Amino acid sequence: MAVFGVDYAWGRPGPAALKRAGAKFVCRYLSHDTTGKNLTRAEADQLSDAGLWLVVVWETTASRALSGRTGGIADARDADRQALAVGMPSGRPIYFAVDFDASASQQAAINAYLDGAASVIGRGRVGVYAGYGPLKRAFDAKKVTYGWQTYAWSGGRWDARAQLQQYSNDHQLNGVTVDYDRAVKADYGQWRVGVSPVEDDMPEYVSVGATEQDLPPGVWTTVRWNVEYSDTEHQHADEGGPSVLNGPAYYSLSANIKLRGVPSGTRIQARAIEVENADPAKFESGAVQDFASVGDETNLLYGASADWIGKDRRVRFQLIQHGAAPATVASGTAKLLYWR
């Protein structure tokens, strides 16, 4: 399941517009620019307070990566200093831009540049923004740990190792030109001011089950969980009911649901939502996943990429079946891994 985000330079759409558009993260610039392109601490605070994740990319000029090891050392020093100043936790990665159609003959210089960056911030924190060719070659040579691939210069090919994909450019959001991105891995370099989603310790988990309940046609129905298998840290919102996890936490969700009485070929959809404790009618929806019934009994396996749920919010799981008659949720289980 991909997570939607955007990147932009000089404009500022604002957190409200970003959230209305469904963005979960924002990719922003670090550089030597002095005209307003760069991420600022005030902006990082604002986006973080709104529950949006941040990712940073260093870019001065499009072909700066051809400057080799010396350039990589200098850029990594400046990038790390700027990243820490805007509140990025020290262990999070920085993407370095290769913003042109670099050829194979130029890869040696690019790899040397990435080596220089790694000598400053460590290989585990080095990422590259690039088209398919230079990104693939950097991964193949083990010069990067993170990849942000643009569809430009990629010819429709995607490297499965890249954590981020920039798949469409030049959209308007609240009067600002933005590019569309998607995160296709749980860890794509995201952070909030002072907050890192990746910890050294193992995540906790909530595991719950559901027994039979009605599933009317054409209506989003929240699955109620009345069996609790595990909740060592008491993050399950209640001993039974619709909520699976109570924030704040960074989490990923998987659910296995058995439906009965949905005619073969009927469209079924599933989604996770985050509701407000004070008013459950107010919620934000994650990406919707589509399924088709395969007969009287259908098993659905739903998976959601890692996301953040803020305090005073709860995670719930919903289904809708587009048949003509009522059906039944025969049984189900859900598991959430979470980090505090």
What integer pLDDT is reported at residue 80 of this predicted model? 97
- In the chain, the number of structural domains is 2
Same domain, 120 and 210: no
* Domain boundary residue, one of 114, 148, 183: 183
- Is residue 196 a part of any domain in this protein? no
- What are the pLDDT digits (tens) for 39-61? 999 999 999 999 899 999 999 99
User: Do residues 260 and 327 share a domain?
Assistant: yes
Which residues form the domain of 20? 3-183
Read off the pLDDT of residues 85-110 as tens digits, 9 standing for 90 and up: 999 999 999 999 999 999 999 999 99
Where a domain ends, among 183, 215, 234? Answer: 183
Banded pLDDT at 201 (limits 50, 70, 90): very low
CA distance 65 to 136: 15
Tens-digit pLDDT profile for residues 287-335: 899 999 998 899 999 987 667 787 889 999 999 999 999 999 999 999 9
- Asked whether residue 221 falls in the same domain as residue 251, the answer is yes
Q: Is the peptide bond before 248 cis (omega within 30 degrees of 0)?
A: yes
Residues 228 and 149 occupy one common structural domain:
no
Tell me whether residue 160 is in a domain. Answer: yes
Which positions ≥6 away from 309 have C-beta within 8 Å? 245, 247, 248, 249, 250, 251, 274, 315
- Cβ atoms of 274 and 283 within 8 Å: the answer is yes
Considering the domain architecture, whether residues 156 and 288 belong to the same structural domain is answered as: no
- Between CA 262 and CA 289 the distance in angstroms is 17
Same-domain pairing of 102 and 219 = no
Mean pLDDT of the chain: 92
Angle at 228 between CA 225 and CA 234, to 5 degrees: 105
pLDDT of residue 287: 81
CATH number of the domain to which 158 belongs: 3.20.20.80
**Residue 197 forms part of a structural domain:** no
Instruction: Kindly indicate the confidence band of residue 160, based on its pLDDT and cuts at 50, 70 and 90.
Output: very high
- Residue 124 located in a structural domain: yes
Question: How do residues 138-148 score in pLDDT, each as one tens digit?
Answer: 999 999 999 99
| 47 & 137 share domain | yes
Average pLDDT over residues 256-279: 94
Does residue 193 belong to any structural domain of this protein? no
- Asked whether 193 and 203 are in contact (CB, 8 A), the reply is no
Per-residue pLDDT band for 340 (boundaries 50, 70, 90) equals low
When pLDDT is cut at 50, 70 and 90, the band that residue 185 belongs to is confident
- At residue 232, the pLDDT reads 73
- Residue 190, domain member (yes or no): no
* Percent of the chain scoring above 70 in pLDDT: 96
Identify whether 189 is part of a domain. Answer: no
pTM above 0.85, yes or no: no
φ and ψ of 65, to 5 deg: -65, -15
209 and 125 part of one domain: no
- Inside any domain, residue 188: no
More confident residue, 74 or 277: 74
pLDDT band at 186 (very low <50, low <70, confident <90, very high): confident
> Does residue 156 register a pLDDT over 80?
yes
CATH of the domain at 327: 2.60.120.1120
pLDDT over 90 for what percent of the chain? 78
**Hey, CA dihedral for 259, 265, 267, 271, is it positive or negative?**
positive
220 and 123 in a common domain:
no
The pLDDT of 194-209, averaged and rounded, is 73
199, pLDDT greater than 60: no
120 and 233, same domain (yes or no): no
pLDDT band at 200 (very low <50, low <70, confident <90, very high): very low
Assigned token pair, 102: 């670099």
Based on the domain organization, do 128 and 250 belong to the same domain?
no
- Among residues 153, 183, 213, the one where a domain terminates is 183
Q: What is the pLDDT of residues 239-263, one digit of tens each?
A: 678 998 888 877 888 999 999 999 9
Contact status, residue 171 vs residue 178, Cβ threshold 8 Å: yes
Q: Could you tell me if 209 and 179 lie in one domain?
A: no
pLDDT for res 198 = 58
pLDDT of 328: 97
